Amino acid sequence: MNVYKTLALGAGLAGLLLSTAYADGLQGKVVGFSQIGSESGWRAAETSVTKSVAADLGIDLKFADAQQKQENQIKAIRGFIAQGVDAILVAPVVATGWEEVLTEAKEANIPVILLDRGIEGPEDLYLTSVASDQVKEGRVAGEWLVGTVGDKQCNVVELQGTVGSSPAINRKKGFEEGIAGHANLSIIRSQTGDFTRSKGKEVMEGFLKAEDGGKNICAVYAHNDDMAVGAIQAIKDAGLKPGSDILVVSIDAVPDIFAAMVAGEANATVELTPNMAGPAFQALDAYLNGGTAPEKFIITESKLYTPADDPQGEYDRRKGLGY
């Protein structure tokens, strides 16, 4: 099995660092990586996995942390272009505003690969996009809630991701699709928690206060696990039991959400693999060394986990992978 196949195993995080045969097609290549920041456990894992995979492949990875600011990402991309890197990876913080800088990369003949978030703009500005089906993630979360509450009346509060980011837009849409046609389920409040634990907690505190101390809330849907973990704390501080008084469903499958499941405080999560780099480097290798254009969209898996799926084992399997 080659390194890319090992890395492409969706949920196969355990195999991530265990590959034996290494491809050398990207040995010595210089790749710039404009990362959003470190807003969540998932983001930290993606950074750590990307650095580890690049090191295994002999890539000289130039890493730039944008601290959540698009202007920093644009500056970093321009810096990579000036350095004449062989390729650029970018995890775009928001979906719009990329045309100018990506056109500059294209004119410099530097292939760009989008990681984990999409952009609005011409598809010829990037070689490929490696990301999950974010609408599906939201839909899976919504369908899980429909199946769990049955006919019961259920008021849902929603913690959205970063305003203008593709996962916030798509996960909202997908969840609404998932609960569509079920009049007993309605989203009564929805606000951004910016994908962070602290804002997730703060916004949930506001929801609880506004909804009779939480008595009027049946479930919280968070666009990522970190916000869910923040919400869990807020629910406990309000004297209620997360996981039973208020159901908790979110996305990412980070170790902390499995720890919350073990404690009975979280009910479901949809996995987002932090290994976007494996498929991205595989596509880049084929392109640079064989001239093969990859699929425009490389879609990673979205698997639902609940307390029935060995949360302690999932926690153990993930901890130590950079989350």
What is the contact surface with ligand AHR in residues (CB under 6 A)?
39-40, 42-43, 116-117, 167, 195, 224, 226, 251-252, 272
Tell me how crowded residue 163 is: count the other CB atoms within 10 A of its CB.
11
d(CA 20, CA 246): 45
Strand (E) or helix (H) holding 205: helix 197-210
Q: How far is the CB of 293 from ligand AHR (least distance, A)?
A: 24
Q: How far is the CB of 42 from ligand AHR (least distance, A)?
A: 4
Of 3 and 228, nearer to ligand AHR (C-beta) is 228
d(CA 60, CA 22): 16
Tell me how crowded residue 151 is: count the other CB atoms within 10 A of its CB.
7
Sign of CA dihedral 117, 123, 125, 127: positive
d(CA 280, CA 259): 30
Of 256 and 285, nearer to ligand AHR (C-beta) is 256
Q: How far is the CB of 254 from ligand AHR (least distance, A)?
A: 8
Of 195 and 315, nearer to ligand AHR (C-beta) is 195
Tell me how crowded residue 96 is: count the other CB atoms within 10 A of its CB.
12
Of 120 and 211, nearer to ligand AHR (C-beta) is 120
Tell me how crowded residue 292 is: count the other CB atoms within 10 A of its CB.
10
Of 208 and 251, nearer to ligand AHR (C-beta) is 251
Q: How far is the CB of 195 from ligand AHR (least distance, A)?
A: 4
